[in-house]
Structure 1
Amino acid sequence: MTVCAASLFQWNYGVSGQESPDFGPAFIVASDRMMTDQGLNIEYESSRWKAAIVNKTNMVFVAGDFTFLSDAIQHLNKTINSEQDLDTDQIAILLSKSFVEVRNSRMERRYLSPIGVTFKDIEALRSESYIRIYEELQREQFGVEAIVVGCSGEKAGLYRLDEFGVITNHIDIGFLSIGSGGIHSSAHLMRQPYSHQSNYFRSLRATFLAKKHAEVSPGVGSATDMFKITKHEVLRIPDQITEHLEKIYRTQRVAESRRADAEISRLGAAFEVLIQQAQASAKSGPG
């Protein structure tokens, strides 16, 4: 599995030296590089990042069986070749259709083609048998999901897609995490609590730490890729910045460990005082 975390923040689009700042929506996204192939039952940390740049201001990040997602992205690319100026909402809808197409294609090849039947054949029956077969096939899960994130002019979009093509809008929440480590990543952002009114550096730090907290989950890799998405462009955060964030994280962990040790020592001393007081009270007796 994997983890991918995205957070909305306010970026100053104003010209340098301009008196009044021009704040607008932008995103920071962090992802690991752990690849999963459920067909071969393997996981490995890849040298490539797990995202697709759809156009100059929109990206798709994926979690789960990467072969499924590769098929979906390939299907999406074929769909959007003839499309122009797609916004984030439209990309989410098209990817949703791609998910449904790939899922149905795999289910048909696995269960129906061996007996010479297609989904269209079963659907044409419009019977209880069709309903039962359809419901049974829908129980199978490939364990995939995606984030569609980006800016279209002044409008920002942040969507989660599940393998059934269901789209949920997370723009008002201001952050979103997917993958096996998603619950840990989201928990960190909720504890902040993270606000979409944050500035760039706060968002950068919070999103990186959210990804690092997710590494306790099985299947989440240690490598981190980060991106900044504005209404003008998609930029990969330089490795030097992520390395500096890694140093901050390690320093923070050491400081937390030392603070915990100090608090435990003070707690032990407090208990020792209580025990001594109790013993003294017992020796003095009543009255």
Structure 2
Amino acid sequence: MEYLFRPVENVLTLEPTLTKRLPASANIYNIMRLNQNCGNEQKWFTLQDPVEDDVWIIANFFRQDYGQIVAVSRPPNAQITPEVRSAFSNCEFLDWAESFMFACVDTTVSSMVSDISIREKGNCTEVHPCYLYIMEPKDALELKIPSGNYEVKPINNKEGLEFILKTWKYATEGSSDNVGKCLQRNVSAGVYVNNEIVAGVITDSHGLIGMLYSLNEVRGKGYGRLVMHQIIKESAANQLVPSCTVELRNGISMAFQEKIGLKIAADVDFVMYRKSGF
């Protein structure tokens, strides 16, 4: 029997399945929730009947900076059979010869994807191992946001966009388009002192909280914690699961996430191929 990915017309039909798979499915669940703000940019596919528990769920869209983006929800305990591997290797939603990123996928999917990319397609492929951190929405809604000689508000102006692009270490050519769309469509939070942004964080196109940064001169004042708690609370209020990823090598960031109340939910990877000129 040949396995084929089939397009999904109404993404909300996938909500019951993705809800049952929380918290491991947090990022693709959030992508589904944010889908209403994305027009026709996202494409959704399933492998197997979309109402069955063993369905594989795919979200696919394009970013100018990192190319084709794929998020995957694997059925709990599903193994990588030859049929599943063949379906991914020959899928129509991904051109393996062009730049791509599998975002926040579990390690079983990551192993399959990286092996296909390297051994079958001949791509020089990167794997970035991470932890997925979440906070339960009910706990997020109870967070208290203290007041002070600052203003906490969404990042929705040119200054805020420039702040994110200058401070996000993974920004590259084309990131302005993606970050700008995220600021327009998704939850964000910034701390402004004397009308100037000094700390900020956004919800990215992968459904994750990211790009957190505070200026060196205000470090130690709690602004990082403040914007994280603000965006976590706003995420929950917008029916998202507050979640982020941290690279395994970043012990400082892991300690910070745990300090502010997030907990590890899963081991995940980002699998990337960047097409080069040689």
Pick the structure with more helix per residue: 1
- Common fold: TM-score over 0.5: no
Q: Which has the larger radius of gyration?
A: 1
Q: TM-score, normalised by structure 1?
A: 0.27
